[in-house]
Structure 1
């Protein structure tokens, strides 16, 4: 319980801190016509929570607009890359929140390939005029940490990166439904962290 309270306060004060600081890479401001797509695997789908409690559902409430849930449980990045063109064609998003790679780590796939797939996804998304927010997925080993490949890709493409929230949530038993998925409370905090990043990144 104490850890959960600490996590909530940490996220709150981090939001206050970054509000007054350089927001880093920017994205175009969202308007009423903007389409937001959340693309990924089970972490996007909302595995571990009831219907309507995934992070895209909560983010939709926070943004006041529909967030399309493009999450497929169990999907590896190579399959996601093949699926992405049709999804982009169908929805023509303004902003894509990309949270992918976790299943690659669980299956011990080559991280160079994972990085290449994520890079190709971002290149494809941006070629269609959409912005990207990248969410880092932790790799299990001696503790939880987000592989450096996420920071490298974010720097290369100059896109916003949220790399703390999933480490925080999956390190707290009260915030997860199993070893690799948040619960409803965890997904809400995930949505709030992404929402804060989007707000900071929007160019004025």
Structure 2
């Protein structure tokens, strides 16, 4: 085969590879969560993140979901892993669902706020659109602490102008039939309700990008 033709074919292969990689990167949805997004004590396919693939498949077939959630993850742990994940996946969208383990362990909320804020900044610098998911903790931690914890998410969402979901366990957390025995994590049926809660916020996120 003549050299010029080989060179042309090689160039075409490189361009196609770059285009495929760019398309993949531009359509990646990265989930950064804790056990609530990691299907704790369940099969992975029963978690809301895995269940998300089916409803998105028809209207958003090019969206690739990457679940980087880890059970027991804190905001500090998520922050330490985040730069490498941004580099690896170059996500177009990032869902940040972290902080509950900080509060359950009594960590200072100003540090949690700082960690989550840094993650949002890093995502925005990487041109990723963020959905920040808030959380609640049991009232036995004290009303002042629990209220401050819940409020930090809205404060961050306003500060960084990001999409915000107040609470993903609505209609789940107080329903014993939808929660595991630990009272903290949804059952397989509860995960389906979590998906219904999260889905409208994600669709709004994806639609916003479509219109731009």
TM-score past 0.5 threshold: yes
The match for 2:136 is 138
SS of residue paired to 2:172: helix
1:23-70 CA-partner distances (Å, limit 9, x unpaired)? xxxxxxxx9851111111111111032220111101122211431111
* Alignment pair present for 1:192 and 2:185: no
* Alignment pair present for 1:60 and 2:53: yes
Give TM-score scaled by structure 2 length.
Answer: 0.75
Q: Contact 2:27–2:64 (CA<8 Å) still a contact in 1?
A: no
The match for 1:170 is 173
More helix per residue: 2
Cα distance in 2 for partners of 1:167, 1:138 equals 10
Cα distance in 2 for partners of 1:79, 1:58 equals 25
The match for 1:51 is 44
Give TM-score scaled by structure 1 length.
Answer: 0.78
Cα distance in 2 for partners of 1:161, 1:174 equals 27
Name the Cα RMSD after superposition.
2.0
Cα distance in 2 for partners of 1:113, 1:164 equals 21
Cα distance in 2 for partners of 1:75, 1:67 equals 19
Cα distance in 2 for partners of 1:89, 1:57 equals 23
Number of equivalenced pairs: 174
The match for 2:186 is 182
Work out which of the two has the higher radius of gyration on C-alpha atoms and give 1 or 2: 2
Cα distance in 2 for partners of 1:191, 1:117 equals 26
Cα distance in 2 for partners of 1:134, 1:187 equals 19
1:59-83 CA-partner distances (Å, limit 9, x unpaired)? 1222114311111111111111011
Q: Is the deviation greater in 172-181 or in 93-102? A: 172-181
* Alignment pair present for 1:73 and 2:71: yes
Structure 1: gaps spanning 5 or more residues: 1-30
Question: Any residues of structure 2 matched to 1:112-123 within 5 Å, and which?
Answer: 112-123=110-121
The match for 1:155 is 158
Q: What is the CA distance between 1:186 and its match in structure 2?
A: 1.7
Q: What is the CA distance between 1:100 and its match in structure 2?
A: 0.2
Q: What is the CA distance between 1:167 and its match in structure 2?
A: 4.4
Which has the bigger relative contact order, CA under 8 A and spacing at least 6? 1
Structure 2: gaps spanning 5 or more residues: 1-22, 58-62
Cα distance in 2 for partners of 1:161, 1:169 equals 19
Cα distance in 2 for partners of 1:162, 1:183 equals 21
